Amino acid sequence: MVTITDPRINDYLMKLAVEDDQYILEMERIAQKKDFPIVERLVGRLLFVLTELKKPKLIVELGSGFGYSSYWFAKALHNGKVVLTDYREENIDYAKKLFKKAGLIRKAEFRVGEALEIAKEYNNIDILFIDIEKYQYPEAVKTLLPNLNKNALIIADNTLWYGKVVGKNRDKETLGIKKFNQYLFGNQDFMTTILPLRDGILIAYKLF
Ligand SMILES: C[S@@+](CC[C@H](N)C(=O)[O-])C[C@H]1O[C@@H](n2cnc3c(N)ncnc32)[C@H](O)[C@@H]1O
């Protein structure tokens, strides 16, 4: 297995990113207890910064889990909404309760079901965030291209897939991620990069 970031560097970064938001801390505790994969704090901060810079009206998340990543988006939203999707009702229920406690409920829409099917209902998406099953990434991006707004951002988690993108792994998740990365890097309509932060976070900027 290839290490993406030296664990010592990761520890260093985590120590810098001290957090005092009680809801973020609560969700991080739950994720750790249940061993639930969230984007974690450093990527959360990136989502916050990108949202502040982009000032989106509409963010659609494919695979919200219990709301950690969407919470970072919502915190930075001024005049827009984030659509949460997950096919597990208990995740969306938890997110709804937490957003209510945190006073963010008006900035979010909560949807249970197949993320891709739900996302197709939305047009002029300013930020599309992808964190569903990894083999679904290529289909997700191709299907939703017509639903993106001018100068939209696509952000996707796990695009280095625990380092499996390097080497001969042929499982469907790794192949899905590799196809997705190749598709966006090769698409001249986008300027695409991957930050080797945590498990690799892809950012693709739509040039028109
Ligand atoms: C990695 S977790 C999401 C974590 C979340 N983005 C965060 O950082 O807080 C992936 C979630 O997507 C959901 N999921 C996976 N594939 C899906 C699909 N096709 N449609 C809807 N939900 C999906 C799973 O139930 C799981 O909760």
Alpha carbons 180 and 184: distance in angstroms, whole number: 6
The pLDDT of residue 130: 99
Instruction: Give the burial class of 139: count Cβ atoms within 10 A of its Cβ; 0-12 exposed, 13-18 middle, 19 or more buried.
Output: middle
Alpha carbons 45 and 48: distance in angstroms, whole number: 5
- List the chain residues with pLDDT less than 70: none
The pLDDT of residue 56: 98
Position in ligand 1 atom list of the atom nearest CA 39? 8
The per-residue pLDDT for range 180-193, each reduced to its tens digit, is 999 999 999 999 99
The pLDDT of residue 76: 98
Position in ligand 1 atom list of the atom nearest CA 63? 12
Distances from the Cα of 54 to the Cα of 40, 77, 128, 133, 195, angstroms:
21, 10, 12, 26, 18
- Span from the CA of 91 to the centroid of ligand 1 (angstroms): 9
The pLDDT of residue 160: 97
Contact between 137 and 193 under an 8 Å Cβ cutoff? The reply is no
> Across-strand partners of 154?
128, 204
Contact between 145 and 152 under an 8 Å Cβ cutoff? The reply is no
Alpha carbons 27 and 33: distance in angstroms, whole number: 10
In this structure, the residue with its CA closest to atom 26 of ligand 1 is: 65
- Span from the CA of 36 to the centroid of ligand 1 (angstroms): 10
Pair of tokens at residue 24: 């973020």
The set of protein residues with a Cβ atom below 6 angstroms from ligand 1 is 37-39, 63-65, 68-69, 85-88, 91, 114-115, 131-133, 136
- Span from the CA of 131 to the centroid of ligand 1 (angstroms): 6
In this structure, the residue with its CA closest to atom 22 of ligand 1 is: 86
CA proximity to 116, closest of 74, 83, 81, 69? 83
Q: What is the DSSP letter of 63?
A: -
The pLDDT of residue 129: 99
